Amino acid sequence: MDEHLFERLESVAKAGLQLFADEFETHIGRLNVITLFAADAHDFQHMAEHLDDEGEKLPDNFYVLNEPLVIANEIIAIVRISAPEDDHKHIGECDFALDDWLSFENTYKKKKWIEVFDEEDFHTISYDNPEANVVLAFTNPPLTIEDPEEGLEDEDASAPADNQDE
């Protein structure tokens, strides 16, 4: 993997894990997906070219890596890149698979900077602290490739769990 890209992934993962540890009482989940926010169109293209060499591209710029990465003691098999946007205040996003979704939601849904998104096929809790380097997301069911045949029904719901041919 491109060294610069790996360093960016590592930076986002470490920042996300530290923020999780600082803002939530226990580590009750695992880091599952890292999203890198592109600084501009050139940066996005650069990341896309490198990730095309590293794995299979799925809809919404998700990449399933041929060889999962071990970053900060977490196994990362899915990376997403986000096109440049003016409102990106962060370097990236860490999406966690929670051990106990309902308990987490009930405990933290009123916490400052938490937003709950209820979609038809999945739910996401986003922690978007404007003072942090990263955004945290908690998605249920988790974004995963553990069982690619049991993805979300809506293939356009930005769910990399469906192993689709493009």
Q: Write down the pTM of the prediction.
A: 0.82
71-94 pLDDT tens trace: 988 999 999 999 887 677 899 999
Q: For residue 50, name the pLDDT band (cuts at 50, 70, 90).
A: very high
For residue 141, whether the previous peptide bond is cis, meaning omega lies within 30 degrees of 0, is yes
Q: For residue 161, name the pLDDT band (cuts at 50, 70, 90).
A: very low
Residue 61 has pLDDT above 60, yes or no: yes
Rounded Cα–Cα distance for residues 27 and 99 (Å): 9
Residue 123 has pLDDT above 60, yes or no: yes
Residue 113 has pLDDT above 60, yes or no: yes
Residue 8: enclosing H or E segment and its boundaries?
Answer: helix 3-23
Q: Where are the alpha helices (DSSP H) in 35-154?
A: 41-54, 101-108
Residue 17: enclosing H or E segment and its boundaries?
Answer: helix 3-23
What mean pLDDT is predicted for residues 3-18? 94
Sign of CA dihedral 12, 17, 20, 22: negative
Rounded Cα–Cα distance for residues 121 and 161 (Å): 12
Residue 154 has pLDDT above 70, yes or no: no
Rounded Cα–Cα distance for residues 106 and 114 (Å): 12
Rounded Cα–Cα distance for residues 51 and 53 (Å): 5
Domains, the chain, in order of start with CATH, read: 3-143 (3.10.180.10)
Q: Nearest 5 degrees, angle CA 73-CA 134-CA 119?
A: 95
